[in-house]
Amino acid sequence: MKGGIDGEVPLAAYITAAYLEAGETPESPVVRRALGCLAPALPKAASTYTQALLAYTFALAKDSQRAQELLDVLERKAIRADGQIHWSQTSSKPRTSTSPWSQPVSVDVELTAYILLALLSKPNVTESDLTTASGIVAWLTRQQNAYGGFASTQDTVVALQALAKYAALTYSTQGDAEVRVRSHGGFGKKFQVSYRNRLLVQEAALTEVPGKFLVQAHGSCCVFTRMVLRYNTPSPQDSTSFVLQVKTEPVNCTKDNTLSVTVHVDVRYNGKKSTSNMVILEVSLLTGFTLAPGSGMSLQHGHSVRRTEKTQGGVAIYLDKLSHISDTYVLHLEQEIEVTNLKPGHVRVYDYYNPEEQALADYNVFCV
């Protein structure tokens, strides 16, 4: 659980931070020795992620000098645009995209959240720190998905912890506000936010899509607004990180012998390293089909399968790693309900630490 970054320094920093978060003091033997190992490593820490993790660790240890030195280094790496501040593991410039929708990189969310935690965990947090923090919060909240999470479990845990700490430091029981949402087509909605209902999520469906909406806030408290648009797109087939192929048996069938289908998933790593990080292979089932008894669970006997679990629409297979040699995973499906005009099932493989590194494929049964 260290952002996919290898090495003793980030691992030691992560564990030390965990001790400090759990209530250990900087004077306790294990923490004191760990900090003694980390301090000499500071000049050699070039990775932005490692610097962010070290800054948070020394801030928790109440070592203001070392924490501030790291934050000063990170300040020069900050990416600023439109009142937002964040950091990236791969670039020092805002990413350009033709898409109007947020496309966060998981490790960027995580390291930015660690810097926010470091900034707010120092012994003396100044007004200048809170001003910088507000810019970081502005970027983090724009990376959230429609359900309040982020790209992966890892960055969601750290980012929500950082946002919660910021909320606790800036919380006030005073003030109220009115938020108005209007459109050129006549849509209108008012939201009243007060001390009594400020933790209540208020929402309304926008009836004009596409359309232009104006959001206005009047008052003296902090209000968070979000518009959510849900839509479906075809699964992209190209990937530079993984090669994924899915086949089904029988290849050709009749309506009389579709009671069982075998799905063969061939996957291999296609990246620059010898092996991948931990990988998750998700298989969604065809409508009307279910996993045959024992199917999927038998995959645990594979050398790289850490565990499997049933999901709402299929099965998730956790793999310790993938190599450049193709591995095959087999699932047996049984038909429970006959469905006409059957739509394809989907298979997705992705890096646990960097979910944007993924490959997708579809599969179906073709009967005459």
The predicted pLDDT at position 104 comes to 65
69-78, Cβ contacts within 8 angstroms, sequence gap of 24 or more: 69/42, 70/42, 70/118, 71/115, 71/118, 71/119, 74/48, 74/115, 77/48
pLDDT tens across 325-338, in order?
999 999 999 888 88
Contact of 336 with 220, CB cutoff 8 Å = no
The predicted pLDDT at position 185 comes to 87
Interaxial angle between packed helices 48-60 and 64-75, expressed in degrees from 0 to 180 and rounded to the nearest 10: 150
CATH T-level topology, domain 8-170: Glycosyltransferase (1.50.10)
Shortest CA distance to 247 belongs to which of 367, 368, 361, 360? 361
**pLDDT surpasses 90 at 13:** yes
At residue 68, what are phi and psi to the nearest 5 degrees? -70, -35
The predicted pLDDT at position 94 comes to 57
**pLDDT surpasses 50 at 300:** no
How large is the C-alpha radius of gyration of the chain?
25
**pLDDT surpasses 60 at 276:** yes
- If you write DSSP's letter for every residue of 25-54 in order, what string do you get? -TTSHHHHHHHHHHGGGGGG---HHHHHHH
For the four alpha carbons of 24, 28, 33 and 35, in that order, the dihedral sign comes to positive
Q: Note the helical H segments in 22-152.
A: 29-38, 48-60, 64-75, 106-121, 127-142
pLDDT tens across 24-80, in order?
999 999 999 999 999 999 998 888 999 999 999 999 999 999 999 999 999 999 999
Rounded to whole angstroms, the Cα distance separating 53 from 360 reads 32
Quick count: other Cβ atoms within 10 Å of Cβ 149? 15
> If 0-12 CB within 10 Å is exposed, 13-18 middle and 19+ buried, where does residue 236 land?
exposed
pTM (2 decimals)? 0.72
Rounded to whole angstroms, the Cα distance separating 1 from 109 reads 14
Of residues 61 and 302, more confidence is placed in 61
For the four alpha carbons of 14, 18, 21 and 23, in that order, the dihedral sign comes to negative
pLDDT tens across 176-206, in order?
999 999 998 889 999 999 989 988 999 999 9
The predicted pLDDT at position 306 comes to 85
The predicted pLDDT at position 302 comes to 53
8, 134, 152, 247, 264 from 318: Cα distances, Å: 25, 37, 14, 20, 17
93, 104, 350 from 356: Cα distances, Å: 19, 8, 7
**pLDDT surpasses 90 at 14:** yes
Q: Which residues make Cβ contacts (< 8 Å) with residue 308, sequence separation at least 6? A: 296, 297, 299, 300, 315, 316, 317, 318
Quick count: other Cβ atoms within 10 Å of Cβ 175? 14
> Which pair of tokens denotes residue 166?
């910021």
Question: For strand 84-86 and strand 79-81, is the pairing parallel, antiparallel, or unpaired?
Answer: antiparallel
Domain 242-363 top-level CATH class: mainly beta
Strand partners, 327: 267
For the four alpha carbons of 72, 78, 81 and 85, in that order, the dihedral sign comes to negative
Q: % helix / strand / coil in the chain, to the nearest 5?
A: 30, 25, 45
% of the chain residues with pLDDT over 70: 87
The predicted pLDDT at position 146 comes to 84
> Which pair of tokens denotes residue 220?
């003296």
Rounded to whole angstroms, the Cα distance separating 240 from 112 reads 26
**pLDDT surpasses 70 at 235:** no
